[in-house]
Amino acid sequence: MKALNRYARAVAELLVLFALYALGTWLAQALGWPIPGGVVGLALLLLVFALNGLKPAHLQLGAGLLMAEMLLFFIPALMSLLDYGALVRQQGLRILLVIAISTVVVMLVTAFTVDAVFRWRMRRDT
Amino acid sequence: MTLEPMPLAWLGLTLLAYLGSRWLYRRTRIYVLSPLILVPALLLAIAAPLHTRYAEYSADTHWLMAVLGPVTVAFAVPIWQQRALLVRHWAALLLGMLAGSLASMLSSWWLARWLALDPAVALSLVPRSITTPFAMPLARDLGGVPEMTAVFVMFTGVFGAMLGGVLLRWLPLRSPLARGALFGVGAHGAGVSRAQEVGREEGTVAGLVMVLTGLLNLFAAPVLERFF
């Protein structure tokens, strides 16, 4: 019974998240915003939290489930590699090189920026 | 050749491979067995010899991708729960995200041009360090190919998650804030799960920064469109 309850709860929470997504998509289209419906839905949900309409705990099960299984939802897009055989053969290595170098650069820049601001504020505060 | 006679065969295979790989990875913690690598590898190994096209594969499975919309909505929960952290460290996080995103887009673009990659490939590389639900729409706005971007995002995540651990050992970083941001901006979802292994605070920061960076980039799209 308890397990069934949990199951029903997860489904209900998922329905709320899907409904917010649908609402967000509709709003973005109706108002002609160039923003994906998911982002509008995210903003709507933050607004609901801010107005105390719902507590994050009310959606934690459904939201946690979606985020935990996120990989499953973008695996299909990866299968587009099927159509990129020629691209992979001709440019694959160079593409990997771009990704590798750029990732190192991003990580260094981000970490040192955050650390610098953090240290500066620590010095100023103490 | 296709798996035409069996309706929804690709959907079934995808789900089966995903569940199997998730179980294996949880038991062994061997990175190559994670669904991010093992599932596409398995599916490609089946589909390529059959000469399956992406259109045939996605006919069964495209609605899985549609769930990325509700996933985006779900990110509101951690953002709201971590708002205290955000208020306290907004300056460090915001500057880190801005600097990191700029570094990501510019270095991807310049390296791609320098190595003489196709313009469509270069544009699809630009949003590669943000999380997939944000990267795909951004790629479309910039004139890239969203599916190609999804592939680049995956390679970024895999590489970044492995590299981030090595970098942490060498960099003199004082704050968990910087360690978390490194993973969140540099390696999105794969980085977040790696950051969670480093520490609880690192994981939280990484998750938050990943979502906010995605949002930031997407809102910058109208400006970016003019630049690239």
Closest chain A residue to B42 measured between Cα atoms?
A79
Cβ distance B92 to A118 less than 8 Å, yes or no, reads yes
Residue B3 lies in a domain: no
Same domain, B174 and B94: yes
* Nearest chain A Cα distance for residue B145, angstroms: 10
- How confident is the model at residue A21, as a pLDDT? 96
- How confident is the model at residue B2, as a pLDDT? 54
Residue B5 in this model has a pLDDT that exceeds 60: no
Domain count, chain B: 2
pLDDT in tens, B26-65: 899 887 888 888 999 999 999 989 988 988 998 888 889 8
| Mean pLDDT within B106-126 | 94
Residue A126 in this model has a pLDDT that exceeds 80: no
| Mean pLDDT within B18-22 | 95
Measure CB to CB from residue A106 to each of B14, B40, B185 and give the nearest one. B185
Residue B59 lies in a domain: yes
Cα-only R_g, chain B:
18
Residue B4 lies in a domain: no
Residue to mutate among A13, A75, A88, A101, with most B CBs inside 10 A, is A75
Residue A51 in this model has a pLDDT that exceeds 80: yes
pLDDT in tens, B134-152: 899 899 989 999 999 999 9
Q: What share of chain B is helix, strand, coil (3-state, %, to 5)?
A: 80, 0, 20
- How confident is the model at residue A101, as a pLDDT? 96
Cβ distance A99 to B91 less than 8 Å, yes or no, reads no
Q: Determine the 3-state secondary structure of B48 from DSSP.
A: coil
Residue B93 lies in a domain: yes
* Nearest chain A Cα distance for residue B103, angstroms: 6
Residue B125 in this model has a pLDDT that exceeds 80: yes
Residue A1 in this model has a pLDDT that exceeds 60: no
Same domain, B42 and B96: no
3-class secondary structure per residue, B58-123: HHHHHHHHHCHHHHHHHCHHHHHHCHHHHHHHHHHHHHHHHHHHHHHHHHHHHHHHHCCCCHHHHH
Same domain, B129 and B161: yes
Report chain B residues whose CB lies below 8 A from the CB of A96. Answer: 155
Same domain, B119 and B207: yes
Considering only B74-83, B180-189, B193-202, which range has the smallest mean pLDDT?
B193-202
Is-contact A118 B177, C-beta < 8 A? yes
Closest chain B residue to A62 measured between Cα atoms?
B74
Same domain, B43 and B109: no
**Greater pLDDT, B100 or B5:** B100
Residue B31 lies in a domain: yes
Same domain, B127 and B144: yes
| Mean pLDDT within B155-172 | 90
- How confident is the model at residue B6, as a pLDDT? 66
Interface size A-B, in CB pairs within 8 Å, comes to 288
Beta-carbon contacts of residue A13 (< 8 Å; ≥ 6 apart)? A58, A59, A60, A61, A62, A63
d(CA B60, CA B139): 24
Residue A23 in this model has a pLDDT that exceeds 90: yes
* Nearest chain B Cα distance for residue A6, angstroms: 18
d(CA B32, CA A126): 46
Q: Determine the 3-state secondary structure of A126 from DSSP.
A: coil
pLDDT band per the 50, 70, 90 thresholds, residue A27:
very high
Closest chain B residue to A72 measured between Cα atoms?
B18
Mean pLDDT, chain A, whole residue set: 90
| Mean pLDDT within B106-117 | 95
d(CA A46, CA B113): 40
Report chain B residues whose CB lies below 8 A from the CB of A77. Answer: 65, 132, 136, 146-147, 150-151
Residue B223 lies in a domain: yes
**Greater pLDDT, A125 or B87:** B87
- Predicted ipTM of the assembly: 0.88
Domain that holds residue B99: 73-227
**Greater pLDDT, B119 or A77:** B119
Give the HSE-up count for residue B86: Cα atoms under 13 Å, Cβ half-sphere.
Answer: 14
Domain ranges, ordered by start, for chain A: 1-83, 88-126
Helices (H), A32-80: 37-50, 56-68, 70-78
Mean pLDDT, chain B, whole residue set: 89
- How confident is the model at residue B105, as a pLDDT? 94
* Nearest chain A Cα distance for residue B201, angstroms: 15
Closest chain A residue to B129 measured between Cα atoms?
A103
Residue B2 lies in a domain: no
**Greater pLDDT, A88 or A26:** A26
Is-contact B111 A101, C-beta < 8 A? yes
d(CA B124, CA B147): 9
Closest chain A residue to B115 measured between Cα atoms?
A94
d(CA B76, CA B209): 13
pLDDT in tens, A76-98: 888 888 888 888 889 999 999 99
Measure CB to CB from residue B104 to each of A46, A102, A112 and give the nearest one. A102
d(CA A39, CA A24): 7
Cβ distance A80 to B179 less than 8 Å, yes or no, reads no
Same domain, B114 and B13: no
